[in-house]
Structure formats: structure tokens, C-alpha cells
Amino acid sequence: MIREKYARLAYHRFPRTTAQYLGHGRADTAPPEEGLPDFHPPPQPQEDPYCLDDAPPNLGYLVHMQGGIFFVYDNKKMLQRQEPHSLPYPDLETYTVDMSHILALITDGPTKTYCHRRLNFLESKFSLHEMLNEMSEFKELKSNPHRDFYNVRKVDTHIHAAACMNQKHLLRFIKHTYQTEPDRTVAEKWGRKITLRQVFDSLHMDPYDLTVDSLDVHAGRQTFHRFDKFNSKYNPVGASELRDLYLKTENYLGGEYFARMVKEVARELEESKYQYSEPRLSIYGRSPKEWPNLARWFIQHKVYSPNMRWIIQVPRIYDIFRSKKLLPSFGKMLENIFLPLFEATINPQDHRELHLFLKYVTGFDSVDDESKHSDHMFSDKSPSPEIWTSEQNPPYSYYLYYMYANIMVLNNLRRERGLSTFLFRPHCGEAGSITHLVSAFLTADNISHGLLLKKSPVLQYLYYLAQIPIAMSPLSNNSLFLEYSKNPLREFLHKGLHVSLSTDDPMQFHYTKEALMEEYAIAAQVWKLSTCDLCEIARNSVLQSGLSHQEKQKFLGQNYYKEGPEGNDIRKTNVAQIRMAFRYETLCNELSFLSDAMKSEEITALIQ
Amino acid sequence: MIREKYARLAYHRFPRTTAQYLGHGRADTAPPEEGLPDFHPPPQPQEDPYCLDDAPPNLGYLVHMQGGIFFVYDNKKMLQRQEPHSLPYPDLETYTVDMSHILALITDGPTKTYCHRRLNFLESKFSLHEMLNEMSEFKELKSNPHRDFYNVRKVDTHIHAAACMNQKHLLRFIKHTYQTEPDRTVAEKWGRKITLRQVFDSLHMDPYDLTVDSLDVHAGRQTFHRFDKFNSKYNPVGASELRDLYLKTENYLGGEYFARMVKEVARELEESKYQYSEPRLSIYGRSPKEWPNLARWFIQHKVYSPNMRWIIQVPRIYDIFRSKKLLPSFGKMLENIFLPLFEATINPQDHRELHLFLKYVTGFDSVDDESKHSDHMFSDKSPSPEIWTSEQNPPYSYYLYYMYANIMVLNNLRRERGLSTFLFRPHCGEAGSITHLVSAFLTADNISHGLLLKKSPVLQYLYYLAQIPIAMSPLSNNSLFLEYSKNPLREFLHKGLHVSLSTDDPMQFHYTKEALMEEYAIAAQVWKLSTCDLCEIARNSVLQSGLSHQEKQKFLGQNYYKEGPEGNDIRKTNVAQIRMAFRYETLCNELSFLSDAMKSEEITALIQ
């Protein structure tokens, strides 16, 4: 119920089935769009994806940050009177109460036993299902015409744009630029213009000799439990100049090289026809100009692709900016991140480029090394962002709350205007404290990684009941935090958690040209997944993604938003109906156990 | 010493280092070609690979089989006198003595202890090497210009032509033929011509609806320990008609479809530039016409590719042919396999097509389910092939001996004429009895699989000392005989056994377009192999392969045939010299232990 409240407030998704058992469900006759996030359908083939003409008028609203959250006011007078525009606003006190409720729950002995047993039961039940129905499932798939694992839609639900090409691709691109334009000015340093040739000369390097070994952007044994080493691998040949030149949107070339590589990756996806991806682009919050610059990069280099939908990642590195005196407070960072979005939402006319770019942005991610420990315990006594001026980094849960809170207000404002909304999709549970998964349980639509659910039966069971999508990247984990054979993906899938497969960083982790297929192939081989398993994961990935309602209908079937077998169109998904029925019945069974227990408690209470 | 004798007799390879420690080594000043097998260099770009004009003259020799082995006679008179042409001929009695010697050795207690300990030592020694030198190795590779894992040569050392395309490729090809030529006559049954459309009509199937699921040529959980099910997966949609039409060289279309698909695979290899493959084509021994038909198929459809070298696989299925009354005796099967080769070698003028085709054939493979048990124990009392007329299948060792014996005679004859020789490269140690690995220790140049070396320390150590190449296919094993995580490849590699990676059957086992890269990628990921490990495996694969001396010099370096670091050209192989030195020193160390022990025994004997 707690998660449902937070989901509804932010236009995040919550499963209808679970809602119904909680007694809060809307009738199934409700229009499908209700309860679904609002994403722009992609432009029609004849439409110009970069058309700046349809910006709606200026509402003239004002925004003002208070306690780290933006409040919207109809006009100056209302602002002075402190009477915000009628939108739901988050309340920190309620939030901390909810948080501590869940925290108490996950350490409660009897609850742990119950959840642990139910999870074991779910796993055994699936094994039984598999033994009994494996051949029937395969028979269903065999008689399903024209659809197999290769032509079901798959979305790479978690991938960083700066590592979306593989190492060989980056190498080839670097060599190509050097061959074709060595004398082009590509940087400026202390007022001096620097050509590409000079860049490589200063590194004492001939790009002809460059190899994937000397490029050294691939993770390996030496990155295991070393997120710092992993991060520094983003520097080709260990040189941050090359990272700036090739993998950034803001540089002397206006991010041209990076845009070209991303577009090459996009062309490959388009050719593959069935593969989509949701690359993360960075907004750091150092300056309010980052947003208009990013939008301009996108439009100027024509980066749009029908097979890509964009996610904005915000690295949790306030402490670095603060220590370099780039930011006075955490509040300023939040302001740099969100103010431009409120302005572009209130007055798209004057922020046409950003308004356009936001059509293709479907969510926010929160990224960094989760294993870093924080001394601060987030509570309603914590300093509010405006007065968080220390050099200490706020903890994970603090970041998550303020990201969520502002996304929630922004989504409500945008929804009111008929604009698209955003999902909050943080990295969570890759490492570090289990409380991260508690924060995300409230604030996230879906998460990336979720490995640590392995350690908390209560949270794992809650993630199951609420069917929170988890984008898992076992190859990434294998190089960073958890050996492949110990990855819980197979176990989660079997129990019925809503998992998808994603690549995270093809540049760092993959060997072949088709990173997502490599990810699926290895999972299939190592865990002996069946075709039905693979297609279920692929279906999950489309559901989890920011693809629009129209696209999902096309890729998964008209009724994809319905739960259980009626939401599945095997002709499009290649998922056996037996499997869908099993999943649905199993979930209903778990939910009805709980709702029966709740009812009998209510009755007992009434009698007494 | 025993293996060395058999290797020299058949023009198989034996490591110089080991030979030197045995006191039988030739000086390192011996010309490089000596002791190397003779393979034709590929035709120059301007040469016609199908030119039939250079067939040498008829020698007029006669051949006659005796005791299952072909003997060569200079003329009729010599045949009558039973005075064969002067060539080494194998002797069954010596062979059975040698076999029982090795069999005694592998069960001898102290020998087992010694080998077990040495193998443990080798493994620990490598771990130590890795911990100490991992970064130095990588540093060597990083400073090696223009060469990395992607552009070192790799040979797919074990792959069956009938499964060399992946399942998606086969599917697309079938659909394409149906779209473009549905009315073409593709078969004849009881005198009635049948079009492609009729083939599919009779199967009640529209190829448009066909998927990889309904095609059903991919191995999976249900093939584990079921070689029979695996074999039947070669029938697309379970229909042997389609196997005949698409995956055979002999059919109404003269194997056109199969040739076209193989050529598509070859084009992809050529484009990849750095990948080579050694596909197996079948000769069954049912009829002497198989050879000329296969040669005609090759030439007529222009199947030659610079990136492919051919191996002939002989399935061990005499029993099936015998029970169908297609063969009177095992001797006849051997005759059908080898007589055409002796004829084409003695008189290439009259067998121009076969003579040409044999230039591109570099070896023989022996294939079938090794887990099938045989009641017969091979000895010098066993019935000779001419009188092996029972319906029972001869045992594995019987097959291997007669294959080896005839290849050996053939090689000596061919060498005398200056023609290329063949390597015997059987499947061995995939399953079944450990004695298979004993037979191959004598008779094979190198083997495919070798999994069961895991179970015999003595054999494993012997395979190490003799550096017998092993083409391993962990993904194939994973679907048939051994789970991926239990595969001994990593352990063998660490100990210093001469292993390569191969795909076996991309159609059955792989998911992506690049099966060999998938094989390497999964091994790299699951076992966290370093770049140096991968490049060492790739180098091994080239050494093991049937690529010519000229090609190996080009791909591995001028001195590739030398052992130890001087045989390695890092600029071509990307294998660190530190690694090469470690391997060489380690092997020398093991060998000198043994030779010291031998010497001290000799001295002891002298004193006494």
C-alpha cells in the first residue's frame, strides 16, 4: 500500500492485480491509459523528429525551491503568499515514517520467516512447473507461426551512452577520425587550438598502432570490487583528453564524435529491427546550462533514433563538485538539475530545444558506486538541501528522495499540461547497504541491478508482490561485484520477479558486435534457459522500458497492459500461455493468502 | 617414445623439445620443414583454385588390402610375389603390445601418484605465475602495436560442415529458396519429380511461418546425455527430407543448397579476415563413389575458400550399414574409404577432380557417440576387417587403428610423390571409455574434446608432455555431456595442455552470428580469461590446424615451428613472451625430471 501511494503520486506503475488484492484496485473496465506513464509515441516516418514548432504557450507560472523541492506558483502574488499551484507535493515527514515502517518490516523475525518460506515455495513451484510443462511450453512455441526468440522485441533496459559501443567500435572510430581529419582542430587549451594530430602527439602515440589492449577500456579481473578502476577505464589509453573528445557531449567539437558513434550504434539497432535500447546521458548538476547544451547536442547532431529512448543519469558526486568549489550546496545541484525542466515545462516556447529533447527522454537514473559508505543517516532531521553545504556527500537515500520528490512534482505539472512524464529508474542494490533497496521500493518505478535482494527475503518478496521491474546485467556484475555463476538472475526469474537483461556497458564488458545478444546467449548457455524463459525476459524488457503505449501495443499485443494470460499475445511475444497462466495464478495465490490473513485479522478485531 | 614412433611413421607432429629430452631429437639446425606435415599452400589470388591441369602422371602401382590395410605394389608381378613397394607398413602385433603397455601404465599406482602430483604442481605453478606476472603480461600486450585479440588469427579447429551455419541462417536460407524457387524440382521419389512447394506441402507447412522453434535444430536441456536426440536434431522440422535437401552433398540438386550455405559462411569468414575454419565433410564408406561425388560437389559449386580447410569425417556406423545390408564386411567399408584415395594418389591423371579436392583436405576425423558401449575387446586376435562380417560394430580402438594404419601408408606414399599428407584428428574423450584416449595417444595427431583426460592423471600428463593438441568445445559439451562450469578447459589451459577453442556445431549450440567469437567470449567471461590466455588459445588453434607452413609463418611468425619464446612473434600472435617463457621452462623442467630419473636408473643399472 505504501509503494502504491508513492507510485500513484509520481505516475509510476503499480500492478493492477496487486492493487486489486489490496482493495485499492480500479475496475478492469478502466481505460487502459489510466495508470500508465505518458510517453510520446515516436514521430511518424514522414514527421520531422526535430520540429521545434509545436511548443505550447507560456503558462507564466513561477517556481521556487523550498526544502530541496520545487514548488509551482500561479503568479508572483501566490508565490509571495506561499500558496502553491494545486499539485500534490511530497512531505518529508510522511516519507521518513514510511521508510522506517519498511525498515522495521524487513528486520521483523516472523515476517522474514514468512517471506523466506514463500520465496522457497515459489522457487520449488516453478521447478515443478518446469518439469511438468516444459515440453508443452515448447510445443506452444513451435506451433506459433513466424515468431521466435530472434524476432521478438528486446529492449536493452540499462546501458550507458558513453559505453554503448563496444571496445572494437571505439578503436575503429578513433583510427578513422585520425586517418580522415588529423589536422582538424578538436580542442582548445589555454587559448591554443589543438589539432587531432597534436592530441595524439602529446600522448606519444600513433593511432595506427592502437589496439584494444592499449586502448584499455575493457573491464577485467583487476576491476573486481574496484569501482574506481572501473570508472577510470572510461579514459581511452588512460587519457582523460580522449574521453573528453570522444565520449562527451560537451567539448570543442560540440560532442560531434560522440554523437557520430552513438548514431552508428543506433543504425545497427535499426537494422537489427527487433532491438531497442535506453541509453543514459549524463546531467551532473554543476550548471543550469547542461540541459540546453545537451538538447542542442541532440538536435544539432540529429541523434534521434526510433530504436532508442533516452534516460538521464545523475551521478551522485556532489562531494567532488563541492570540494572543487563548483557548487555551494546540494540544493544548488538539485536546482541545476530540475529548474531548467520546470522552466521548459512552464514555458516551452522559450525553451524549444529542451522541450523537444524531453519528448525522447523517458526517465531518470541515479548512478555511482553504491559500495561507498556514508556516515549520515537520512531522517527528517537531516539538513535540507539548501543548507547541505558540507563537503560530505549525502547518502544514497537522501539523493533518491530528492530526485523522486522533484520528478513527482514535475510529472504532475507536466501531466496537467498534457506533456509526457518521467520514470525514476535508479541503479540500486548493485552493492552497499540493503537500505538502498528500501528507498527504491518507495521512490523508483524500476531499478537496475537489484543483486542485494538476494540478502533480504522480505524485500525480495515485496519486490515480487509489487512486480518491480529489475534490469539485470550479469556480465557487468561478473566484472565488478559478483561472479557469473553466483548471479541471482536465474533464481529471480524462476520465482517470478520481473527481470530483464541489459548490458550496462558494452565497451567495458562485451566481446562481440551484438552486446545484448551476447548477454542473452551467455545467460541461456550458462543457466540452460529455455526459449520460453528468454522470450519472457524479452517481454519483461519491453514492459519495463520507456517505449510508448502505441509501440508496446505493436510489439506485445493490444492488451499488453492487462495482467495474466489475457495480456499476452503469443504471436508477438513468443511466450507460452501456459507460462503466463502459471505466473498469474502464482501471484494471485500469494496475494490472496495475504489478503485472507488481513481479512481474518479485521474480523478478529471486529469480534473483540 | 611410443607416441613419437607412431607420429613419425604417419607424418604426425611431435614436439621437438620432448623429442630432445627423449634423446631422439634432431638438432635444431634441421630444416624447419622436417617433421612438419605437408599441406598445400593456398592458391595465389591470380591462380584458379579449380585448375585440373597439374595432375602428376600415373605411377602404375597396384594396391591390395590385406588384414584391413592397403599394401602398395610396384606392379602385378610384385603383387603376386607379395613384395610390396618399400614403405613402412603398420604391424598389428606391435601395436597391440604398445597399447597394452600404455594401458598398464595408466593403471600403475606409483605412476598415477606421480602424474597426479605433477599435474597439481603445474596448476599451482601457473596460479603463481598469474599472480606474479599478470600485469607484466598485460603490459607487454599493451605495448604491442597494432595487434590485439580481435586481429590475431583464430581457427575453428572442430566444426561440422552440416552444422556450420547457425539456426537463424539455415531458417533464412530455407525461406529464401521457397520464396525464389518454389516450383523448382528438388527431389525425385519413386520416379516422380517433386518441387520445393510439394516438399513443404507434404509436410503441411508454409515456410513463411517457420521459426527457429519449429525448425527445432537447436540442442537444449533435452539433449543432455542423449546423443540420439542430438543426432535427430539435424533434421529440420524433424523431417529427414529437409536434411537431405539442405544439408547433404548428394541429392537431386547435387548438394547445391548445402554448397550455397557453406559458401555464405565462408564469405563471412573472409570478411572477418582473421577467422578460419576446418569444417568436416562426411565420407561414410558405403560406396567407393562417395569420393568422386564429393570432389565433384566441391568443384562444381566452387566451394573453395581461402579461410576454410577441409577435414573428412568418417562416422563409426558400420553396424547400421551392415544391418541394412549395404555392406558385407568392415573391410569393404575401409576399402570404400581408402581405395579411391590410393588410386587418386597413384594415378592423379585419371582422378583429376579427387586429386584437386585432396589438396584442400588436410585430415581425417572419426565421429560418433563415444558413450555407446562395445562388447568386443580389440587385440591381435580380433577378426581382421575382411572377415568382420557380423552385425556388431567394431569398438572405437579398432576403428582408430585401421583408420590410422591406412592414413599412415597413404601419407608415406603421398610424401614419396611430393603430395600433401593428412592428419588423423579423431573425436576422442568426449564420453565413454578412457581407452579411447589411449588409442588416440598412439594414432592421432590431435583430438577433439578430450574431456575424459580429467579422469586419468597419467593420460593427462602424457598428453601434456607430448603437447597433443586438443580442440575443445565447452558449449557443445554443455548441451551434451558436461555442464559448462565443470568443463576442464580452464584447468587444462592453466596446466599447459595444448588446447584450442572450437564450435563443433553452431547450428545446434550457438545463438549469435559469430559462433567462434561467442565461444571465446563465453569462455572469457565465465572463466575470466585474460587477453593473453585468449591469444594463447588462438595461437594454439593455428598451430593445431591444417593451415600450410606458409600461412602459419604469415600468421604466427617466421619461426613459429620453433618451441618456446623464440617460436613466438608477439607482433603477430599477441601472446606475451613472459607467458611463452613460462610454458617452455615449465615443460623443460618436467621433461628434465623424467630424463634425469631415466639416466640415474641407467647408471644404477650400469653399476649393478
**pLDDT tens column, B331-346:** 999 999 999 999 999 9
pLDDT exceeds 60 at position B26: no
What's the gap in Å between the CA of B155 and the closest CA on chain A? Answer: 17
What's the gap in Å between the CA of A541 and the closest CA on chain B? Answer: 19
Count how many domains chain B has.
1
B234-270 per-position pLDDT tens digit: 999 999 999 999 999 999 999 999 999 999 999 999 9
Partner B contacted by A513 (CB < 8 A): yes
CB contact under 8 A, A220 and B510: no
pLDDT exceeds 70 at position A578: yes
Average confidence (pLDDT) over A464-493: 97
Q: Which residues of A touch B530 (CB under 8 A)?
A: 220-221
pLDDT exceeds 90 at position B28: no
Closest Cα partner for B138 from B443, B512, B575, B602? Answer: B575
CB contact under 8 A, A521 and B531: no
Contact A432, A372 (CB under 8 A): yes
Size of interface A-B (CB pairs under 8 A): 122
CA atoms within 13 A on the CB side of B363: 30
Closest Cα partner for B583 from B495, B499, B524? Answer: B495
Strand order in the sheet with B361-367: B154-160, B275-282, B310-315, B361-367, B423-424
Q: Which residues of A touch B526 (CB under 8 A)?
A: 484-485, 522, 526
What's the gap in Å between the CA of A135 and the closest CA on chain B? Answer: 9
ipTM over 0.85: yes
| Within-domain flag for B471 | yes
Confidence band for A389, pLDDT divided at 50, 70 and 90:
very high
Instruction: Name the B residues in 525-544 with CB < 8 Å from any A CB.
Output: 525-526, 528, 530-531
| Within-domain flag for A84 | no
Amino acid identity, residue A463? Y
Contact A487, A531 (CB under 8 A): no
The residues of B that are catalytic are 449
Q: Rounded to an integer, what distance in angstroms lies between the CA atom of residue B297 and that of residue B302?
A: 8
Q: Rounded to an integer, what distance in angstroms lies between the CA atom of residue A67 and that of residue B583?
A: 65
Q: Rounded to an integer, what distance in angstroms lies between the CA atom of residue B388 and that of residue B405?
A: 17
| Within-domain flag for B15 | yes
pLDDT value at position A484?
Answer: 96
Amino acid identity, residue A439? S
Q: Rounded to an integer, what distance in angstroms lies between the CA atom of residue A228 and that of residue A240?
A: 14
Q: Which residues pair with A367 in a beta bridge?
A: A315
pLDDT value at position A604?
Answer: 80
Q: Rounded to an integer, what distance in angstroms lies between the CA atom of residue A463 and that of residue A105?
A: 14
CB contact under 8 A, B146 and A520: no
Enclosing domain of residue B428:
1-25+37-54+92-110+112-601
Q: How far does chain A reach from its first CA to its final CA, in angstroms?
A: 25
Q: Which residues of B touch A521 (CB under 8 A)?
A: 510-512, 518, 522
Neighbours of A182 (CB within 10 A): 16
Q: Rounded to an integer, what distance in angstroms lies between the CA atom of residue B83 and that of residue B142?
A: 62
| Within-domain flag for A569 | yes
Partner B contacted by A522 (CB < 8 A): yes
Average confidence (pLDDT) over B475-488: 95
pLDDT exceeds 60 at position A492: yes
Residues in Cβ contact with A6 at an 8 Å cutoff, skipping those fewer than 6 apart: A12, A98, A404, A442, A443
pLDDT value at position B245?
Answer: 97
| Within-domain flag for A290 | yes
Confidence band for A23, pLDDT divided at 50, 70 and 90:
confident
Closest Cα partner for A447 from A360, A367, A567? Answer: A367
B353-381 per-position pLDDT tens digit: 999 999 999 999 999 999 998 889 999 99
3-class secondary-structure state, position A497 = coil
Confidence band for B31, pLDDT divided at 50, 70 and 90:
low
| Within-domain flag for B388 | yes
Partner B contacted by A216 (CB < 8 A): yes
Q: What string of H, E and C letters represents the secondary structure of B213-248?
A: HHHCCCCCHHHCCCHHHHHHCCCHHHCHHHHHHHHC
Average confidence (pLDDT) over A526-555: 97
Q: Rounded to an integer, what distance in angstroms lies between the CA atom of residue A2 and that of residue A11?
A: 14
The secondary structure of residue A88, as a DSSP letter, is -
Average confidence (pLDDT) over B464-486: 96
pLDDT value at position A419?
Answer: 95
pLDDT exceeds 60 at position B32: no
Active site residue: A129, A169, A427, A449, which one? A449
pLDDT value at position A28?
Answer: 52
Strand order in the sheet with B499-501: B427-428, B447-449, B470-472, B499-501
| Nearest residue of chain B to residue A205 (CA atoms) | B145
Cα A545 to the center of its chain, rounded Å: 8
3-class secondary-structure state, position A519 = helix
CB contact under 8 A, B211 and A530: no
Partner A contacted by B178 (CB < 8 A): no
pLDDT exceeds 70 at position A22: yes
Nearest beta carbon to residue B208 from set A146, A214, A478? A146
pLDDT exceeds 80 at position B607: no
Going by DSSP bridges, is the β-strand pair A69-73/A62-66 parallel, antiparallel, or unpaired?
antiparallel
Partner B contacted by A324 (CB < 8 A): no
Instruction: Name the B residues in 108-127 with CB < 8 Å from any A CB.
Output: none
Q: Which residues of A touch B222 (CB under 8 A)?
A: 135
pTM score, whole prediction: 0.94
Average confidence (pLDDT) over B96-115: 96
The number of residues making up chain A comes to 608
pLDDT value at position A242?
Answer: 96
pLDDT value at position A600?
Answer: 85
Confidence band for B33, pLDDT divided at 50, 70 and 90:
low
| Within-domain flag for A492 | yes
CB contact under 8 A, B524 and A518: no
Q: Which residues of A touch B510 (CB under 8 A)?
A: 521
CB contact under 8 A, A213 and B144: yes
Closest Cα partner for A17 from A595, A599, A577, A597? Answer: A595
Q: Rounded to an integer, what distance in angstroms lies between the CA atom of residue A289 and that of residue A291?
A: 5
The runs of H, that is alpha helices, within A195-238 are 196-202, 212-215, 227-232
- Selected for mutation to probe chain B from A146, A154, A213, A218 (highest B CB count within 10 Å) is A213
Backbone CA torsion sign across A13, A16, A18, A19: positive
Partner A contacted by B373 (CB < 8 A): no
Contact A473, A447 (CB under 8 A): no
Give the CATH number for residue B138. Answer: 3.20.20.140
Cα B237 to the center of its chain, rounded Å: 29
Q: Rounded to an integer, what distance in angstroms lies between the CA atom of residue B9 and that of residue B89?
A: 9
pLDDT exceeds 90 at position B402: yes
| Nearest residue of chain B to residue A212 (CA atoms) | B148
pLDDT exceeds 80 at position A304: yes
Cα A12 to the center of its chain, rounded Å: 13
C-alpha cell belonging to residue B222: 533435452
Partner A contacted by B146 (CB < 8 A): yes
| Distances in whole angstroms, Cα of residue A546 to Cα of each of A308, A420, B165 | 10, 11, 35
Amino acid identity, residue A539? R
Q: Which residues of B touch A475 (CB under 8 A)?
A: 525
Average pLDDT, chain B: 95
Neighbours of A226 (CB within 10 A): 17
Residues in Cβ contact with B496 at an 8 Å cutoff, skipping those fewer than 6 apart: B122, B126, B464, B583, B586, B587
pLDDT value at position B222?
Answer: 87
Q: Which percentage of chain A shows pLDDT scores above 70? A: 98
| Within-domain flag for A76 | no
- Selected for mutation to probe chain B from A179, A205, A511 (highest B CB count within 10 Å) is A511
A243-298 per-position pLDDT tens digit: 999 999 999 999 999 999 999 999 999 999 999 999 999 999 999 999 999 999 99
Q: Rounded to an integer, what distance in angstroms lies between the CA atom of residue B542 and that of residue B152?
A: 10
Confidence band for B30, pLDDT divided at 50, 70 and 90:
low
CB contact under 8 A, B525 and A149: no
Average pLDDT, chain A: 95
Instruction: Supply the DSSP string of B101-137, one letter for each residue.
Output: HHHHHHH-HHHHHHHHHHHHHHHHHHHHHHHHHHHHH
Backbone CA torsion sign across B259, B265, B268, B270: negative
CB contact under 8 A, A147 and B211: yes
Partner A contacted by B221 (CB < 8 A): yes
